[in-house]
Amino acid sequence: MILEAQGLTRRFGGVVAVNQVSLRVAQGDLAAVIGPNGAGKSTLFHLISGHLPADGGRVALHDRDISNLAPDQRARLGMAIAFQSVRLFRGMTVVENVMVGGHAWTRHGFVSAFLRLPGQRREEAAIRAEAMRAVQLVGLESDADTLAESLPLGVQREIQVARALCGRPSLLLLDEPASGLRGAERERLAQLIETLRAEGVSMLLVEHDVAFVTRLAGRITVMDRGSVIAEGTPAEVQRDPVVIGAYLGQDRTRATRA
């Protein structure tokens, strides 16, 4: 198992944002977490990525407990993140932005970089090669030398995915990657995710768009009001009356399972 979260809980004052949530991602799988606005998806994402501490539960990566590790430490163990908000370095080209993701497996520090020592030069060449491979995988080789901030939002999201892939991750976390994208951009992103899955990349996708997720994921965890209300294949969750009630704004306590 690549990722296993058990009983994750997070409170903000008297509000339980995430309540005893568990999920798993197997090797080569694309698992997803969906739910309406305010369901607790983003909080769960930040608990798994290490950007928020949990009040309870644990997170394991490759059977190693990483619950107390910082995000950069999790990255070095193989966890990469593509955030919902675009986080690019202005004034840098596409490939230069993607190269930043190579920090997860580099060894040489500031002194080596400043002095341009042989080991650092070899490492930089390896990072550039890895970055170009990632750029090609997401289909942006023709834009490799273009300033990243000059490109459309959908392409900037793809750059973030490429940067995450440059870190050679064993698990890729995608935080609402389709948010704010138009039809053609969403389709291109969906095709990219399908390509990554075919390449054997293990992924956890957090989204609110049911149609987008059910097209891509093999297994879906559905959250509402901080708790898991359903789990299963796309077909199973789509016909679950509790899930339907949550998305239609109905009181789920009155929904009954078929």
- End-to-end CA distance of the chain: give it in Å, rounded: 31
Domain boundary among 124, 150, 167: 167
68 burial (CB, 10 Å; 0-12 / 13-18 / 19+) is exposed
Do 136 and 248 have their domain in common?
A: no
Taking the C-alpha atoms of residue 89 and residue 68, their distance in angstroms, rounded to an integer, is 29
Q: Which residue range(s) make up the domain with 130?
A: 88-167
Domain boundary among 113, 138, 167: 167
Q: How many CB atoms lie within 10 A of CB 151?
A: 17
Which CATH number is 11's domain given? 3.40.50.300
Do 185 and 72 have their domain in common?
A: yes
Q: What is the pLDDT along the chain (258 residues), one digit of tens a residue?
A: 999 999 999 999 989 999 999 999 999 999 999 998 889 999 999 999 999 999 999 999 999 999 999 998 999 899 999 888 888 889 999 999 999 888 766 654 444 444 455 666 777 888 899 999 999 999 999 999 999 999 999 899 999 999 999 988 999 999 998 888 888 989 999 999 999 999 899 999 999 888 899 999 999 999 999 999 999 999 999 889 998 887 766 544 444 333
26: Cβ contacts below 8 Å, ≥ 6 apart? 1, 2, 202
Do 57 and 184 have their domain in common?
A: yes
Total domains in the chain come to 2
Q: How far is the CA of 132 from the CAs of 55, 94, 100, 129, in angstroms?
A: 40, 10, 12, 5
19: Cβ contacts below 8 Å, ≥ 6 apart? 9, 40, 226, 227
| 83 within a domain of the structure (yes/no) | no
Do 115 and 181 have their domain in common?
A: no
Task: Report phi then psi at 250, rounded to 5.
Answer: -85, 160
Say how many CA atoms lie within 13 Å of 66 toward its Cβ: 26
| 20 within a domain of the structure (yes/no) | yes
| 192 within a domain of the structure (yes/no) | yes
Domain boundary among 167, 182, 203: 167
Q: What local confidence, expressed as pLDDT, does residue 252 receive?
A: 45
Q: What local confidence, expressed as pLDDT, does residue 225 receive?
A: 92
Q: How many CB atoms lie within 10 A of CB 254?
A: 9
Do 175 and 163 have their domain in common?
A: no
Q: What local confidence, expressed as pLDDT, does residue 3 receive?
A: 97
Q: What local confidence, expressed as pLDDT, does residue 254 receive?
A: 40
| 212 within a domain of the structure (yes/no) | yes
Q: What local confidence, expressed as pLDDT, does residue 125 receive?
A: 84
Do 138 and 175 have their domain in common?
A: no
Do 218 and 233 have their domain in common?
A: yes
| 105 within a domain of the structure (yes/no) | yes
Which of 83, 69, 79, 81 shows the shortest CA–CA distance to 2?
79
Do 184 and 242 have their domain in common?
A: yes
What is the β-pairing status of strands 171-175 and 203-206? Answer: parallel
The residue type at 60: A
Q: What local confidence, expressed as pLDDT, does residue 29 receive?
A: 94
Do residues 203 and 31 touch, judged by C-beta distance below 8 A?
A: yes
The SS3 of residue 221 is strand
| 46 within a domain of the structure (yes/no) | yes
Do 225 and 111 have their domain in common?
A: no
Taking the C-alpha atoms of residue 25 and residue 7, their distance in angstroms, rounded to an integer, is 15
Do 257 and 189 have their domain in common?
A: yes
| 153 within a domain of the structure (yes/no) | yes
Q: What 8-state DSSP symbol labels residue 118?
A: H
Do 70 and 100 have their domain in common?
A: no
Strand partners, 93: 147
Q: What local confidence, expressed as pLDDT, does residue 257 receive?
A: 39
Taking the C-alpha atoms of residue 17 and residue 35, their distance in angstroms, rounded to an integer, is 13
Q: What local confidence, expressed as pLDDT, does residue 213 receive?
A: 92
Q: What local confidence, expressed as pLDDT, does residue 245 receive?
A: 84
| 41 within a domain of the structure (yes/no) | yes
Task: Report phi then psi at 126, rounded to 5.
Answer: -65, -40
Q: What local confidence, expressed as pLDDT, does residue 116 receive?
A: 54
Q: What local confidence, expressed as pLDDT, does residue 249 receive?
A: 60
Say how many CA atoms lie within 13 Å of 160 toward its Cβ: 23
Taking the C-alpha atoms of residue 178 and residue 195, their distance in angstroms, rounded to an integer, is 16
Do 177 and 253 have their domain in common?
A: yes
Q: What local confidence, expressed as pLDDT, does residue 94 receive?
A: 95
